[in-house]
């Protein structure tokens, strides 16, 4: 069975109509690929349209302010993607006179573009014979060929890339890659794949051997770190005290509230008597209101955010604290958990 040809025929009959699929513009393809990393198509589509509308080409993207990019990115998570995109766009303007490259090797020299993204852009924009291997492709290959090597191991990545290279249609590499990815996304899904209507079911090792639910294999994840974030809400009329985060932690250069992190979950009454809280807000901190703890899950961290509205104004300001009018909040790039909290309070 010619697996590539079978999947291409399936794709031509069943593919979703997505805006970037009708384009060979490397900028448009790059934008879609970065947005859809770690993001479902349904979630990423509105972001794609917003970015294309505001930044229709790489030159306008490169001229943007980082805060504007992060603000537009808000809610997608993995904010380093947004920051790296700005660096990429500026590299394209500086090194390639604003013409987004389509050559695989040139693409891999750009910030934030790895082997997968470079293969996708070069094959979709210029039909370069580079096999794309994403999560969907890993799953299809692991199940069809019965490969138990972990997909996130060094040996596994090399093995799967080699198989993908061997399968790649040299005549239609872009179409082949689209078909493999779409097949994994729509039919050979992680859970409850539609094996009954699969066009290549006769040759599928996992289906024959009852291994659909056990493939692909992954190495065990890293230990999850639990973090307890105690945020203080301080208002002064129509103004609110905000904090600009630094570059050394999650949500680099974004905005949140004055934060006091602890090693364990503390009730609000214990938070307000912490030495650093008293240092900035005095001995007798009065609570106006408390809010339920919100849990926010990142790849290797679970964040437990507590919001405490206090009456006290700071007796001194931390270097990155500042007051701003609540009407200006929508202009600030905030982590999703902060935006949702403030939006519920002020209807941003």
Please state the domain extents for the chain: 225-346
Per residue in 10-19, pLDDT (tens digit) is 999 999 999 9
* Structure token pair of residue 212: 């659909």
What is the DSSP-derived secondary structure letter of residue 167?
A: H
Lowest mean pLDDT of 140-144, 213-217, 245-249, name the range.
Answer: 245-249
Catalytic residue among 6, 17, 33, 171: 33
Per residue in 45-65, pLDDT (tens digit) is 999 999 999 999 999 999 999
The residue-averaged pLDDT of 212-216 equals 95
Q: How confident is the model at residue 1 (pLDDT cuts 50, 70, 90)?
A: low
Instruction: With residue 134 as reference, give the H or E element that holds it.
Output: none
Asked whether the predicted pLDDT for residue 221 surpasses 80, the reply is: no
Per residue in 153-193, pLDDT (tens digit) is 999 999 999 999 999 999 999 999 999 999 999 999 999 99
Asked if residue 208 lies in contact with residue 195, where contact means CB atoms within 8 angstroms, the answer is no
Per residue in 257-281, pLDDT (tens digit) is 999 999 999 999 999 999 999 999 9
Asked whether the predicted pLDDT for residue 222 surpasses 80, the reply is: no
Report the CATH superfamily, name and number, of domain 225-346: Nucleoside Triphosphate Pyrophosphohydrolase (3.90.79.10)
Residue holding tokens 């943007």? 64
Q: Whole-model pTM?
A: 0.76
The residue-averaged pLDDT of 114-143 equals 96
The residue-averaged pLDDT of 234-248 equals 95
Residue 312 confidence (pLDDT): 95
Residue 181 confidence (pLDDT): 96
Asked whether the predicted pLDDT for residue 220 surpasses 90, the reply is: no
Burial class (CB in 10 A: 0-12, 13-18, 19+), 321: middle
To the query of whether residue 128 is one of the catalytic residues in this protein, the response is no
């Amino acid at each position: 069975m010619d697996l590539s040809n079978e999947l291409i025929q399936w794709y031509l009959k069943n593919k979703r109509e997505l805006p970037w699929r009708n384009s060979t513009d490397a900028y448009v393809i790059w934008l879609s690929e970065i947005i859809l990393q770690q993001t479902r198509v349904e979630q990423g589509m509105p972001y794609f349209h917003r970015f294309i509308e505001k930044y229709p080409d790489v030159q306008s993207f490169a001229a943007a302010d980082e805060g504007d990019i992060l603000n537009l990115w808000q809610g997608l998570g993995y904010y380093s993607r947004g920051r790296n995109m700005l660096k990429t766009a500026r590299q394209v303007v500086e090194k390639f006179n604003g013409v987004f490259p389509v050559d695989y090797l040139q693409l891999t020299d750009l910030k934030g573009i790895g082997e997968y993204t470079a293969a996708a852009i070069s094959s979709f924009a210029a039909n370069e014979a580079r096999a794309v291997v994403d999560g969907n492709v890993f799953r299809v290959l692991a199940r069809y060929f019965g490969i138990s090597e972990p997909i996130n191991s060094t040996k596994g990545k090399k093995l799967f890339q080699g198989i993908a290279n061997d399968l790649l249609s040299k005549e239609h590499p872009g179409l082949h890659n689209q078909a493999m990815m779409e097949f994994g996304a729509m039919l050979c899904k992680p859970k409850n794949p539609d094996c009954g209507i699969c066009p290549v079911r006769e040759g599928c090792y996992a289906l024959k051997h009852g291994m659909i639910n056990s493939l692909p294999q992954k190495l065990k994840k890293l230990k999850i770190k639990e973090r307890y974030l105690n945020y203080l809400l301080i208002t002064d009329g129509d103004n609110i005290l905000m904090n600009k985060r630094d570059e050394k932690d999650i949500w680099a250069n974004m905005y949140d509230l004055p934060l006091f992190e602890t090693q364990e979950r503390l009730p609000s009454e214990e938070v307000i008597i912490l030495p650093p809280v008293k240092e900035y807000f005095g001995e007798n901190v009065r609570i106006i209101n408390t809010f339920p703890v919100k849990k926010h899950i990142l790849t290797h961290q679970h964040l437990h955010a507590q919001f405490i509205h206090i009456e006290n104004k700071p007796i001194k300001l931390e270097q990155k604290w500042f007051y701003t009018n609540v009407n200006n909040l929508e202009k600030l790039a905030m982590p999703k958990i902060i935006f949702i909290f403030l939006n519920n309070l002020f209807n941003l």
